[in-house]
A and B are shown apart, each in its own frame.
Chain A
């Protein structure tokens, strides 16, 4: 047996059947379910008279539609309300565990999976949500699927899959102080582009990735989808194992040790072959800010908005022109001169305890600038919120002028009441700066939590290291 990549190990371990065309039936260990992409899947089961193959393999939570304030008042938007109630009734009917809106464990699906120990190394994890790539931080093969596939997994515990190509991205050396996981992954996307990972599973490696906490690794894998990848992966180490010890869904006692012994083998073997390798120098990565309408439209904080006249490729030049028009920016504008109207700290990318600590450290003893109309902090889960409150982070934020909200997806995609109005500009710790993503006509700049906090207190983008 030759040297294997981590992806090949995970793939081989889950193949139930391989047909003559190279198409595999792949076993799925875990499925996370939320309210937006599941109703039609449950309806499909009902129409066909099918039951879930293994109910315990599923965990459900409403997150996209949930309001982030006045929870006692419930959901006021009747259409959102029906969708959340439909998840409640579907889970009750089919016997699937659900953390309902009132449950202290409720939160963003990609925050609660790892937090509960539901995500384990060596598993396949799917969810009807593209940011399922997040769970790859644990050495799990995790990817987003459509609703038909949600139904397929519910009914068969399997998916029909073809093996992906492999891309190794190694971040060599260490990043400087003040440079975070978010800056690393935005720099990667800037380097390889939003289609750079298409058809591939990306394994993130190198000293700078090893040095990240589990929260930081989740941030990196979360945005693998923004590089077009099928999934992101990081090999297991002791940090992975220690993170999982004692979590509600983690195995306990001897079973945990047995699992851990296997998990330690979940790394790419030395000399394993990757279809493509990209190496980047960690020390060269600066805090990043996106200026356009695709995550690859990103520059370091010292940079400027590009000029389409300097772009040779006419399709790309037109893309830049359209993005600048949408974003209301002139070519050559310094990133530091861009002034957001709103600040959003949250989302499955950056709403974990470490993210809130990093933002609070910047905010502490300062005030949100007068020009900022709204600054929101939306913790990733009820448990993250409780932890942050026990550390006094909520008071740091509220004393500075931030609003401290209840957990949910919130202004990352604006399915609830939290959204941008046309023309409003936002410094956001989320993952997508697409046109209309945070509200029709809204303008998104993606940054790390520390950089969002720095923009909040100064009123414009600024290098957090200079504060």
Chain B
């Protein structure tokens, strides 16, 4: 994973609560066995007027003009602003894959669903939780004639708006380090292989019933 770099980007305001992962990337695109190429299908049912299918060339598909990511003001947006419970529903990591592949790097919302929040950090995306009042204010600014631009500083944990307003945000220390260093979690965990092995040996002794071989049988 690429380390997360500070940047300044345009904010696309998606004024919806409970944006679910089915909306972020519809089920037909989950049939891919690859990890890339989901960006063109991000928010497929909201973004296009026709029915999307995997492998489709999206360059000539009819766009829904009322959808925020199709608004020329927000072309090239790297920050998505949304309402509460963003990313609810299915655990599909295809959702953050699609968001990252599209070019978004930060999502701001009053709250996120747990699994989606977790999945973001595995894919170089920074989900930022801000108080509902601050989010309201950001929506008002982002909906203006001029798109809102925000500078994201992860080491300092601060957002700087174009008028100089500074907004501090929280991020769990482990997740912050993971993003900043672009860490491979598995590699880090395997450094503790001996500790895992020792735990496992103890568990075999304490709960041997968890390690028994299955019995043949077909009972319901």
Contacts and interface: CB of A to CB of B under 8 A. Distances in A.
A156 B143 CA distance: 46
Interface stretch (B6-14, B69-77, B146-154, B194-202): B194-202
Contacts of A43: 33, 35
Given A19-B174, A36-B92, 4 more contacts: A86-B33, A146-B92, A415-B27, A434-B20
Given A80-B31, A83-B33, A255-B212, A21 B174 contact: yes
Contacts of B216: 248
A157 interface: yes
B190 A130 contact: no
B212 A251 contact: yes
Contacts of A230: 114
Contact of A37 (B23, B91, B213): B91
A384 interface: yes
A104 B219 CA distance: 11
A409 to B, nearest CB: 10
**Which one of A65, A123, A129, A130 has the greatest number of beta carbons of chain B within 10 Å?**
A130
A436 B19 CA distance: 12
Interface string B198-220: 01100100011111111111111
A105 interface: yes
A322 B149 CA distance: 29
Interface centre among A83, A198, A246, A432, by most B CB within 10 Å? A198
B58 interface: no
Given A255-B209, A432-B22, A434-B89, A384 B189 contact: no
A156 B189 contact: yes
Interface in A51-101: 53-54, 56, 64-65, 77, 79-80, 82-83, 86
B113 A246 contact: no
A162 interface: yes
Interface residues of B, number: 67
Contacts of A316: 17
A37 B30 CA distance: 8
B204 to A, nearest CB: 11
B185 A148 contact: yes
Contacts of B33: 39-40, 43, 82-83, 86
Contact of B215 (A160, A248, A294, A437): A248
Contact of B85 (A17, A44, A122, A228): A228
Contacts of B114: 198-199, 228, 230
A262 interface: yes
Contact of A27 (B32, B88, B196): B196
A315 B83 CA distance: 9
A420 to B, nearest CB: 12
Contacts of B34: 40
Contacts of A252: 212, 215
B123 interface: yes
A440 B113 contact: no
Contacts of B26: 436, 440
A120 B209 contact: yes
A19 B217 CA distance: 43
Contacts of A213: none
Contacts of A162: 172
B210 A29 contact: yes
Contacts of B192: 16-17, 25
B207 to A, nearest CB: 7
A148 B30 contact: no
Contact of B111 (A152, A198, A413): A198
A77 B211 CA distance: 39
Contact of B17 (A54, A130, A143, A315): A315
Interface in A431-459: 432, 434-437, 440
Contacts of A115: 220
Interface string A246-265: 11111110011011001000
B219 A246 contact: yes
Nearest to A27: B199
B47 interface: no
B212 A319 contact: no
A39 B36 CA distance: 12
Contact of A104 (B195, B208, B218): B218
Contact of A130 (B15, B90, B210): B90
14 contacts: A29-B210, A36-B30, A40-B35, A77-B31, A83-B31, A128-B93, A130-B115, A146-B122, A198-B111, A249-B214, A413-B22, A415-B28, A434-B20, A435-B22
Contact of A194 (B51, B85, B92, B214): B85
Contacts of A65: 31
Contacts of A116: 214
B183 to A, nearest CB: 11
Given A146-B122, A436-B23, A129 B91 contact: yes
B119 interface: yes
A280 interface: no
Given A130-B90, A145-B115, A255-B209, A414 B27 contact: yes
